[in-house]
Structure 1
Amino acid sequence: MEKTRDLVVGSGEKKKAGIFEVGSAEAMGCMNRGLCVGICIGLILIFTATFCVGLTDPTDVVAINSLYVALEYPPLLGWLLVGGDPCGDKWQGVECVFSNITELRLSGTNLGGKLGDSLGDFGAILAIDLSNNHIGGTIPSSFPSTIRNLSLSANKLTGIIPDALSSSSQLMDLDLSGNNLSGQLPPSLGNLSSLTTLHLQNNQLTGTLDVLQDLLLQDLNVENNLFSGPIPAKLLSIPNFRKDGNPFNTTVIPSPTIAAPPLAAAPYAEKAPGRPAIGPSVPEISKSTRAGKVFTTKRCKKGRKEKENTKRHDIGTYKAPREKPKHTESVPQQNYPMEKVPRGRVAKPSDSYVENNGRRGVFPKLQNEQEVDVKNTPTVSLPKNDHDSDMSSMDMEFLPPPPPPFFTFEKVSVEPMVPFKVTSRRHPSKSPNASSAKAFTVALLQQYTNSFSHENFIGEGMLGSVYRGEMPDGKLLAIKKLDTKVSGQQSDEDFFELVSSISKLRHANIVELVGYCAEHGQRLLVYEYCRNGTLHDALHDDEIQKNLSWKTRIQAALEAARALEYLHEICQPPIVHRNFKSANLLLDDKLELCVSDCGLAPLLSSSSASQLSGRLLTAYGYGAPEFDSGSYTYQSDVYSFGVVMLELLTGRKSFDRSRPRGEQFLVRWAVPQLHDIDALARMVDPSLKGAYPMKSLSRFADIISSCVQQEPEFRPSMSEIVQELLRMI
């Protein structure tokens, strides 16, 4: 059997060999053809992988990584610090063609940081849209030559427009509106032969428009800048040319007739040479004195020169700012040290300053106000300090923008109505027995709010949720249920000390703390209830808005100013609000205004909570520019107060995403127009239907302009604001 098997196997092998020998030539031919087909398929796969999978050009990867670092690592989907495949992994806002990044579209994504120097490194990019963000710094010194559409509008860019844009010869649409750009237009801008759309509105650009006259523009917007001189005739033929809010063909307004007091020079000595001032108007200079300079501001009248007898804005003097120490907390506690602040100039209170209504430190009502004679009020010359500088040799273009006039008053010593002393005990008592705040139990507050039902929910903020509660006697309460992430930063002792200090705040325009609750790991604050909700809601509610006459709005601004004046200048130590916005301004039955959340800044003292509060205030248009550096002072409250006044003036929200891009941030849109009489009239809340004196409107705008100055030291104190508002009543 084995022999038979061998024979069979042997014959099989021979047969098999014979077959291979006979077909060897044919087999070789097939192998060659298969190899060719395989190579072709491989090349196709490689080619397809390159263009479909999206292996991004390494140069673009490095450029976008660098941009990510400059923007301070925003939470963008897919973006990496080093490496990555933006095209293949479809990074947020990135569009590609083959292996090159061709578009970056990140409008309204809450970007911060700066632009850096990597934009010019993209190899084939066609469009960049980084509008409606919070990007600061200057415009980069290089751009890709391939760029066709560039939008950096509604950011916080400063400095000048660089010559580097001239290298982008294919640029067709350029939008730099809504920033803080200054200086003149570079001559190289005239080399952008492909440019058809140019938006520069709402900046502080100066000089003439001559460099634009030879461009083939179809859409040009230069509104609300500081452009001057004659308008080139060629620009007037542009189909869509907007130029309002600029001092074109205006004459220098004569000096005011009221004698100006000697003033201290503005502290610009520490600024880099050639840095342009930020502000809506170019100041004029009178002869300098030893004490400093006198500034006057001009208001532009569109389309014609102002006549001497025209009823218009009264021009006065600008008092140089005084320095104030910074405070990051608002309630003096053992964990929140405060420094004593030098007293500001405040008007001497009348005898009725302290009223017999159970609330100490209440300001008198309007009918009891004493009229202040500004002309006869003595002035105070401020001594020169290390920050003073002689500005006589400075170019007009680089002078600081003068806020509207605020007059000095005789300095008086004001003792705090409710002094608060920090306890020296290491372990204070377990409850604020010494305060007037009542202790509530969780069970009782649940009864008042129907177990914190949805029907009693009022709203929610960064500190927690607010509910309406009703006591058995029918009295209504507003109960703030603090978020555990916020209140958990404090010990029980700190919380009780916080309650004790808040309960001592006594002012007619500050929401009164009724009580507190601290048990079962929960912390709640109980306040008096204001039936008409918030000022924010009132300005956007058709029924309540009808009752907000111009006089009522001035009164609301005055009441809010008095509350901040009390916190900043009467309380000892002073208190910073840190969360001042129209949603925290409450209206009672008589539409009288009360400020809420006073004294709660320590709850925002942790680094994470502080950063969050700063970002939220900035995102919603209330945050002062110094927020970006982590700084918050009394003057930051003043800036936020100016934004609220803008809301009262325009009826608009501080930030409104539903509006056109250039109008979403109220301050950026409105402030450049405050010095144009015609533009100012168009800005007013339409619901007022023209029922306001133009002179009063002008003064109101002047106060706003001073409050929202970019530099904190140029903002007035709240006592000065109070006096200016009193003059309008």
Structure 2
Amino acid sequence: MGLRVLFGVALILALSRLLYMPTCRGYTYGPDVFAINSLYITLDFPPLPGWGAFGGDPCGEGWQGVECVDSSITAIVINGANLGGQLGNELSYFSSLMTLDLSNNHISGSIPGSLPVTLRRFFLSDNQFTGSIPDSLSNLTLLSDMSLNNNLLSAELPDAFQALTGLISLDISHNNLSDQLPPSMKSLSSLTTLHIQNNRIFGTLDVLQDLPLQDLNVENNLFSGSIPPKLLNVPNFKKNGNLFDANVIPPAIAPPTESPFPHSPNFAVAPVPFSEAPTQSGGQFSRHSKISTAELVGYTCMMIVILVIGIATVKLCISKCKTREPKDGATCKWLEASRIGQLEDPQFIRSHKEGVLGKPIRRSEDNSNGQWNVSLPMPPVTRSDTEKLDIISEKSLRTRTETSTPNSAKCFHVATLQQYTNSFSEDNLIQDGRFGRLYLAELPRGKMLAVLKLENRDSNPSEDNFLKIVERISRVRHPNIVDLVGYSDGYGQRLLVYNYFNCTTLYEVLHSDDSIKKKLSWKARIKIAIGAAKALEYLHDDCPPLVHQRFDSGNILINDDLEVRVSECGLASLLSSFPATQLSGMEPALFSYDAPEVSESGSYSVQSDVYSFGIVMLELLTGRKSFDSSLPWGEQHLVRWASSQLYDMNTLTKMVDPSVGEQFAVKSISRFADIISRCIQEVPEFRPPMSEVVQDLASVI
């Protein structure tokens, strides 16, 4: 590698300033680009698709093995790719790297001491690394899994495990490590798997005796002395090829009186006399024949229980199948109406059967977005027909059980919704969003509805799951939340029907039309914030706790009177099943509202909703987008740019959206900023509940 690598690193350092200049329009965070460019050079320019030495956009361009959240690289996974070269010393520039997996390659050199402190999973097994494990390991306080096995590492283990209390699995086997186990390994309070076999480590195993180990392999080392009694209870303990005291049998070692089967607490094995305790033979422990018999009896009993449960389950499934109502090719309203004998008009019955049930559904696939456009071949449906269907449905819904149908949601016939939306025409399209297309529906008496068509074929929930979602959403009733009034699940489609409020979102008002934006006075912005905050407060406190998960300015609908309705409440479970290809085409700003813990673990909570609300408040304050790739990289992420400026009055007043003008009180701005700073705290527990946010916003006015 030699001069070429040194030359490449020098070039990248010289050009690093260019990565942060405003002219760079890449989506990926600048330091991450620098770090991966440097890694590409030190790995000796491997032929990896997308990778390059100078600039580029790893997150936006989909570099091989690179995973991102927002604009930050969170994982690099390249196994068995015949990589050579070394790792270099620029890995610490990665800002959010959680997984680094370069196993089964030919990378050599030493493990760098400058590693990203955000690492959780660190895998370098089956390479050619030499030297020692760096002392800087102590800085990786988030580390949960590390594998450095099958390398050429030598020297002693560093005494650097004090802060690694979250480490679960450690594999450093098949190296040339020597000396004793360091005292700091006592601090590995979460360690369940430890593989250190095939090294030259000596001394005792005392530092391991209080750890929650389930899988321990110390074979083929130089350990001596007696084995701590607690370690003999480790379920998977391998110790051959050491110098342990052969004649030392720990006192009172007997099989546990509880069941040896973790999931069968009702089975027990009687205590065995000490004379029948496990004996040592050739470094291995073997149970007495009586114990083997007990285990055999236990396994037999367990198999009988499983068989009985299986038979009962099959019978239950058969019973359910016999009582389940058929749904193939028919909608809920037709089934209900026909069952209770309310379709008495022969002409209506004939037209409905011939026009809807008697002909197949035509499906045309739009290759551009992977969605299905479904057209139902049916004769013209009159207003009287649809009204009759609705009357039938309202009567028949009373006969449904509480467990199968949402109490307050109306089941619409798909033909009714097709009539109201002009056959789901483009003229009635309100929005093409992340959950599907939203259409305007006009009812006979002038009432307006909004019909959400869950069109993505890979994310359509099953019928049972869909009804559970409807049940959950139908219970959400609040003046600041869009009301769900009904649904339809006929013909394999999933439709949600809402009361129409307005199609204008806060995002559009703030970022699309300057003339509308100028109408948002400071007082109006506070009013909008209070309305949205009350909606989240209700979701979190006043109903069975419901986390919005995708709260952003695009979910806040406002009308000319500045009334607020929050949309998409209770739909986040649908989004979790979207394929990666569907998500990749979405606006990056959609994910820039996520709290830090969401980016790390993918789990949402009421605290993560509070964080997202804080970013919406920042948008109201500054008029900027949560993420704007057209700005210099240091200003692209709104929360990163604004968080350090919220405490200084001079910079704070300069941050206020110019559209507001001078019509605001400095004290009001200061209180507003104080609420923001508490909502966007890095630690979830430090963020206030939404009930407190609502109270504080009321004092801002």
Higher helix share: 2
| TM-score normalised by the chain length of structure 2 | 0.46
| TM-score normalised by the chain length of structure 1 | 0.44
Which has the bigger relative contact order, CA under 8 A and spacing at least 6? Answer: 1
